[in-house]
Amino acid sequence: MTEHTGTHTGTGDPARSMALLWRTAEPAAPRGRGAAAGLSVDRVVETAVMLADAEGLAALSMRRVATELGVGAMTLYTWVPGKAELVDLMVDAVLGEVVDALGGLTDAADASTVAPAGWRDRLEAVARANWAVLERHTWLLQVATMGRPPLGPNVMAKYEVELRAVDGTGLDEVTMDAVVTLVNGFVSGAARGVLDRAQAERLTGISEDQWWEATAPYVDQVFDADTYPTVARVGPVAGEANQAAYDPYRAFEFGLARLLDGVAVLVDATR
């Protein structure tokens, strides 16, 4: 049983992954006492998510999850065949939080009940729900899901709710899908700034402010305002506004507003 890197979804056995995602084939819990008697696929996934949340995806392994559950690795393999399938299950599980944040699935005939009335408010709610999930589960940013997404119930429900945000706007089906893909891609890119900052602080042991304070004297020695006049004018003003060289939260707010402005042009063109 060889473990995959776990950085891509859809790298395990498709049949086994789908059976586990939809819980159509789940081992019966063993009788008797002990940790193994209380196992279930849900408990395995919950433990794996908690581990990845606390220590990152690099800490995730079948053996480590088994240790956290108090069982042997071979016992865990009777529930989930490998790390690749486990990552599929983890991704589907946490993406269900997006659906929960948007009010869950409702009558498909009434898209306005999924999020606030008006496509712009609904699409903004979709973006913010995705942002919140990525902040809680930063390891998601280390998993490539676009090419082969885990087609579980939560992934399906998330796509359904996101599409409803722009349903009824006059956009055709291909454009509706493209808008949802655009929003998710933007949110992932913006959220990566939060992850990068946290990783830099963890690896170096110093904060963002401390790093800039230590670096600034050396920049002053080499920076020539005559050579870089626009940088000399804009940089200090932007840095003061952001209180940093880059503020991922400010970038998210600015980018989201501009993205919605762009979608508005598409929607208006259909009228």
Domain stops at, among 64, 90, 116 = 90
Task: Indicate if 162 and 242 belong to the same structural domain.
Answer: yes
Measure the CA–CA gap between 268 and 33, rounded to whole angstroms.
63
- State whether 26 and 127 are in the same domain: no
Kindly report the pTM of this predicted structure.
0.87
d(CA 42, CA 48): 10
Q: Under a CB-based contact definition with an 8 Å cutoff, are residues 1 and 77 in contact?
A: yes
User: Does residue 7 fall inside a structural domain?
Assistant: no
Q: What is the dihedral of CA 208, 220, 232, 251, to 10 degrees?
A: -10
Full 3-state SS string of 96-139? HHHHHHCCCCCCCCCHHHCCCCCHHHHHHHHHHHHHHHHHHCHH
Expressed as residue numbers, the domain containing 77 is 14-90
The kind and range of the H/E element at 38 are none
In a structure prediction context, what are the per-residue pLDDT tens digits for the chain, which is 271 residues long? Answer: 444 444 688 888 889 999 999 999 776 666 555 657 679 999 999 999 999 999 999 999 999 999 999 999 999 999 999 999 999 999 999 999 999 999 854 554 454 444 457 999 999 999 999 999 999 999 999 997 777 889 999 999 999 999 999 999 999 999 999 999 999 999 999 999 888 888 888 889 998 888 888 888 998 899 999 999 999 999 989 888 877 777 889 999 999 999 999 999 999 999 8
Q: The tokens of 151 are what?
A: 């087609």
